[in-house]
Amino acid sequence: MKEKYNNILILTGAGISAESGLATFRSENGLWNNHRVEDVATIEAYHKNPDYVHDFYNNMKPELWNARPNNAHLAITKLQQEYPAEVHIITQNIDTLHEKAKSKNVHHIHGQINQAVCLHCGKVIETWGDVSSETVCESCGVMGMMKPNIVFFGEDLLCMNKVEELLRKADLFLSVGTSGVVFPAASFVQTAKYYGADTVEFNLEATSNNFYFDRHIMGKAGETLPKFVEDLLNQVHYKSSL
Ligand code: NAD
């Protein structure tokens, strides 16, 4: 580990929001909030039965609206505010807890629960209200083409040009609460390592692609990440006081 970093990149997954009470993606029986992933998170499922998919995300909105950021989200904000480096977040989470924690530079590669995109004209709207196959696009006026702005299996990730740039630039890459099985996010650590970043994983357990991490910090992110951030801040403050 270096004494000082200039470009810190943090990849977050469902595990960072677990201590805010939000369920992670796949439970042991392959269900997400009691639904088969194939029925609610694939583009085929959306085309086959859009209202079933809309209902799933509409029903999720109140819980995500009410969720509060936990100490792990807040530790990232503190790092952004107090560490003299550029700090970016790439999140796979569709919740908006990084924004609620007042973090900046948040890149949502899997979309956001509070957005819908028009498949006819590409307009993205922000809404915590319900979206359905009867919703009319406020930009092009076409009905029935609004899709939750969630990246489903079978679709391209969002903001990938920015992600590539950040992965090349990072000198410290942190992965927090992600299982490392959902690609391509699972391969980001490999790219960051290739371009020379120190890499640290925060998880409850060892993950399947742990080969590329220099350090594994096991435990709840709400406990381990604040401590790690304090150590980074102490190190840089100590150095600047010499
Ligand atoms: P995942 O559910 O596959 O894995 C979560 C990981 O977090 C696991 O490895 C688990 O061991 C770890 N974890 C659980 N609690 C933790 C804690 N307190 N501290 C540290 N680690 C903890 O999640 P993923 O890798 O992010 O992939 C799932 C996909 O599901 C993402 O693409 C995301 O879009 C979506 N998703 C999002 C949310 C959300 O927005 N909060 C919730 C569920 C699923």
Does 85 share its domain with 181? yes
Q: How many CB atoms within 10 Å of residue 84?
A: 12
Q: Cβ(221) to ligand 1 under 6 A? A: yes
Does 121 share its domain with 230? no
CA 19 to chain centre: 15
Residue nearest to atom 39 of ligand 1 (CA): 93
Q: Which residue has the tokens 């993205």?
A: 124
Does 229 share its domain with 190? yes
Does 127 share its domain with 204? no
Q: If you measure from the C-alpha of residue 39 to the centroid of ligand 1, how many angstroms do you get, rounded to a whole number?
A: 19
CATH number of the domain where residue 235 is located: 3.40.50.1220
98 is catalytic: no
Residue pLDDT, tens place only, 134-183 = 999 999 999 999 999 999 988 999 999 999 999 999 999 999 999 888 88
Q: If you measure from the C-alpha of residue 208 to the centroid of ligand 1, how many angstroms do you get, rounded to a whole number?
A: 14
Does 187 share its domain with 142? no
CA dist 129 and 110 (Å) reads 19
Does 209 share its domain with 174? yes
Does 6 share its domain with 59? no
The pTM is what? 0.94
Residues 6 or more apart whose Cβ sits within 8 Å of residue 113: 57, 60, 61, 64, 94, 95, 96, 148, 150
Question: CB-hemisphere CA count at 13 Å for 10?
Answer: 29
Q: Cβ(224) to ligand 1 under 6 A? A: no
Confidence (pLDDT) at 154 = 84
Q: At which of 98, 124, 150 does a domain end?
A: 150
- Looking at the chain, the whole-number percentage of residues with pLDDT higher than 90 is 83
Does 46 share its domain with 162? no
CA dist 178 and 197 (Å) reads 18
Does 138 share its domain with 231? no
Residue pLDDT, tens place only, 120-129 = 999 999 999 9
Q: Cβ(209) to ligand 1 under 6 A? A: no
Q: Which residue range forms the structural domain that includes residue 39?
A: 24-66+114-150
Out of 47, 88, 110, 216, the active site residue is 110
CA dist 35 and 55 (Å) reads 12
CATH number of the domain where residue 52 is located: 3.30.1600.10
- Domain count within the chain: 2
